[in-house]
């Protein structure tokens, strides 16, 4: 372990960049702590203002919100045999879905295109660090060397049409032969379009509905993709 990666150092680095706190939420069926951003709305407004002021390269901090789609994917993982398998999470944000897989015994690589949330993810996965690797991975740009993953997870990462080609490339680059992809979303209209788009690209598609107890009238969809 390098000093820079200790929980204390990670906490300091995160605090220098944004406000964050520990939140206790159900993950893999038990109450566990997740490090989350304290003011996601403020961070988004700040990014919009900087973009409006003409600053280039400002990335929307969508990672900072905790999305229900991650809880839905977490619930669905309870029905999947994930113990002992290698899992890749794309666009992990604060890492709920990947952490849920690790709690269920997977070896997980949690990734996001931006590095700020990865500080929090390293803290949240600290106790399971022998099962969790955390690193930056930008769709269509970065590539993790080595064998493909039997399971790839993504919670609420289909929300932007321009991301789809890079996302699909990323799935092709990292999925093992016979592997499966699980992508969750709260039945977004844009994700309906993604569902049609991806099936035109040699992917087999199945859909699962997950009802969450906090609001059963707004279920989460889990798309299950396998390469044809
Ligand atoms: C709506 S958030 C979902 C975060 C998390 N999966 C969740 O459900 O809480 C979308 C995530 O995708 C990430 N993302 C967006 N574009 C990306 C790209 N090109 N490569 C990798 N990650 C990206 C964002 O940084 C963000 O964390």
Q: Which tens digits make up the pLDDT trace of 173-220?
A: 999 999 999 999 999 999 999 999 999 999 999 999 999 999 999 999
pLDDT digits 0-9 by tens, 15-36 = 999 999 999 999 999 999 999 9
Ligand 1 centre distance from Cα of residue 92 (Å)? 6
Domain ranges of the chain: 67-227
Please provide residue 21's backbone torsions phi and psi, each rounded to the nearest 5 degrees.
-155, 170
Q: In ligand 1, which atom is closest to the CA atom of 137?
A: 21
Return the structure tokens found at 113.
């295109």
Ligand 1 centre distance from Cα of residue 126 (Å)? 21
Determine how β-strand 20-27 pairs with β-strand 30-37. Answer: antiparallel
Q: What is the mean pLDDT of residues 151-159?
A: 97
Return the structure tokens found at 77.
């993982």
Q: For the chain, what percent of residues have pLDDT higher than 90? A: 89
Is it the case that residue 111 has pLDDT exceeding 90? Answer: yes
CATH superfamily of the domain spanning 67-227: Vaccinia Virus protein VP39 (3.40.50.150)
């Amino acid at each position: 372990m390098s000093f820079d990666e200790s929980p204390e150092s990670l906490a300091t680095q995160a605090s220098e960049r944004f406000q964050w706190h520990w939140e206790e939420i159900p993950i893999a069926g038990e109450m566990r702590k997740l490090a989350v951003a304290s003011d996601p709305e403020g961070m988004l407004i700040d990014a919009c203002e900087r973009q409006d002021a003409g600053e280039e390269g400002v990335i929307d901090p969508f990672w900072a919100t905790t999305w229900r789609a991650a809880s839905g994917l977490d619930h669905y993982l309870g029905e999947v045999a994930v113990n002992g398998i290698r899992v890749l999470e794309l666009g992990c944000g604060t890492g709920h879905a990947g952490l849920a897989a690790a709690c269920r015994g997977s070896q997980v690589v949690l990734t996001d295109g931006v590095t700020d949330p990865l500080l929090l993810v390293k803290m949240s996965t600290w106790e399971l660090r022998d099962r969790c690797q955390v690193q930056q991975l930008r769709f269509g740009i970065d590539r993790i060397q080595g064998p493909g993953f039997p399971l790839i997870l993504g919670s609420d990462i289909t929300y932007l049409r321009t991301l789809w080609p890079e996302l699909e490339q990323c799935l092709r680059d990292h999925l093992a032969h016979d592997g499966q992809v699980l992508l969750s979303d709260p039945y977004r209209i844009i994700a309906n379009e993604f569902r049609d788009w991806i099936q035109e690209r040699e992917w087999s598609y199945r859909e699962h509905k997950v009802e969450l107890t906090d609001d059963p009238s707004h279920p989460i969809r889990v798309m299950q993709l396998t390469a044809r």
